[in-house]
Chain A
């Protein structure tokens, strides 16, 4: 759970299944947004004034000596995968909706339906995101669902193979 001060919110809807969030998230992080499960596929910085000063000052010095400069907003782009019940997601919550990072326990619980591993969004993820993002997620699932390691490693090997061939699944 994130504290109130660190609340992350949707700041832009890009399409029916893509949206942007302001917050401290990393590529591959899985988030819950009002029952929609999404994965962070890219990160960018918006509105930073640092770039004009960075060629001759370290970031730490900028923060200490030029504190009025706007550091900018860290914006992450998310791809909606499905609902947290693993059903298809047909719409997105509106701008301003709070977003929470899904922790390891919840990531495990969501992917085990009746004790069975399910990844219904895998093909969509591979088609729509960078293959490294998919690989990152499968590695996370191996960590949180170790009893399904064999199956997940087959998926991982397939991803690796397709990556080496430069093809998508």
Chain B
């Protein structure tokens, strides 16, 4: 996007809306010439199929949350907390583990959180089961991430299934493969419930799309060695989604998210523990009406 308006957002809201509508319409306008190339298949479902599918499977979900450094309050340190939830479906067993780390104001807290989440998965990778990560392994800021490569290598070594689940993907990998300049999910907007694409490779990573809920398809990513078990992987991911409150997002990530949240009590304790070095008078000035 390379457009500039002279005037405030309030003044230009009509023009902004028109521009955005045109942009979305343009992105949605792409159609694949050969739909067969997606290798679309459909999951066979029956009553409570997802329980049969997940029975005796250990599933792990990792997600994190953070308290950003508060420059305005003179607190130069933030903190990241990651929760790892393990559930043995059908066996009634569970375990929740936590990781946390301080992050300085001059560090990228999002990347630190990403690293801690990957670290939590690496800790679990030698114990089998199905591991879920909330998001893409392809972080734009990180072209080369040794920890991700290590995680993928260990996943193959221990035959532990690993999934990156992207609920709302704006990736263009697939579209670009077909020479189109749009978002993959826009290109796949006509997929029907429980349909999924074949896996596509991007170096050591495989990705595919599944229509799990009425919104646009979700993207899954996994290490390339798992492509031979693609149908099974897709079925397991979809089954895990059927357990969640909305039936459209993996249950284990829904729970990992819940456990990872730093609640008010935790935030208050952190704020008290980390002393302010000097408050911002610019911020104070903004506070005065």
What residues of chain A have their CB less than 8 Å away from a CB belonging to chain B? Answer: 52-53, 57, 61, 63-68
4 A-B pairs with least C-beta separation: A68-B94, A67-B94, A67-B92, A64-B92
Q: Given A52-B245, A53-B245: A65 and B90 within 8 A (CB)?
A: yes
The reply to whether B87 and A67 contact each other, CB–CB distance below 8 Å, is yes
Q: Which residues of A contact B282 (CB under 8 A)?
A: none
| Chain B residues whose CB sits within 8 angstroms of the CB of A67 once the complex forms | 87-88, 91-94
B96, CB-defined interface residue at 8 Å:
yes
Q: Which residues from B are CB-within-8-Å of A53?
A: 243, 245
Q: Other than A63-B92, A64-B91, give 10 A-B pairs with Cβ distance below 8 A.
A: A61-B51, A64-B89, A65-B54, A65-B87, A65-B89, A65-B90, A65-B243, A66-B87, A67-B94, A68-B85
CB distance from B254 to the nearest CB of A (A): 10
Binding site for A on B (CB under 8 A): 51, 54, 85, 87-94, 96, 243, 245, 251, 255
> Nearest-CB distance from B282 to chain A (Å)?
43
Expressed in whole angstroms, the Cα–Cα distance for A1 and B37 within the complex equals 70
| B interface: dominant SS | mixed
A114 to chain B, nearest CB (A): 53
Which residues of A lie under 8 Å from residue B91 when comparing CB positions?
Answer: 64, 67
What are 22 A-B residue pairs whose CB atoms fall within 8 Å in the complex? A52-B245, A53-B243, A53-B245, A57-B243, A61-B51, A63-B92, A64-B89, A65-B51, A65-B87, A65-B89, A65-B90, A66-B87, A66-B243, A66-B251, A67-B87, A67-B88, A67-B91, A67-B92, A67-B93, A67-B94, A68-B87, A68-B255
A52 contact set on B, CB distance < 8 A = 245
Measured in the bound complex, the distance between the Cα atoms of B243 and A68 in whole Å is 13
- Closest chain-B Cβ to A72's Cβ sits at a distance in Å of 15
Chain A residues contacting B54 (CB-CB under 8 Å) are 65
CA distance A82 to B255 in the complex (A): 46
Q: Tell me the complex Cα distance, A53–B91, Å.
A: 18
Beta-carbon nearest neighbor of B55 in chain A: A65
Residues on the A chain within 8 Å of B245, using CB = 52-53
* Complex-state Cα separation, A68 to B94, whole angstroms: 6
Q: How far is the CB of B97 from chain A (nearest CB, A)?
A: 12
Taking CB atoms, residues of chain A closer than 8 Å to B85 are: 68
Asked if A68 and B96 sit within 8 Å, CB to CB, the answer is yes
Report which residue of A53, A61, A66, A68 has the largest number of chain B beta carbons within 10 angstroms of its beta carbon: A68
Chain B hits for A61, CB < 8 A? 51
Chain B min CB distance to A64 (Å): 5
Collect the chain A residues with CB atoms within 8 Å of residue B51's CB. 61, 65
**A101 to B243 CA separation, bound complex (whole angstroms):** 39
**B255 adjacent to A64 (CB under 8 Å):** no
- Nearest-CB residue, chain A, relative to B259: A68
Q: Which residue of chain A lies nearest to B244 when distances are taken between CB atoms in the complex? A: A53
Expressed in whole angstroms, the Cα–Cα distance for A65 and B91 within the complex equals 7
Kindly list chain A residues whose C-beta atoms are within 8 Å of the C-beta of B90.
Answer: 64-65
The interface residues of chain B lying within 8 Å CB-to-CB of A68 are: 85, 87, 94, 96, 255
- Look across to chain B and name the residue whose beta carbon is closest to the beta carbon of A65: B89
Taken together as a complex, chains A and B put the C-alpha atoms of A123 and B129 apart, in Å, by 62
Q: How far is the CB of B64 from chain A (nearest CB, A)?
A: 17
Query: Which residues of chain B are near A63, meaning CB under 8 Å?
Result: 92
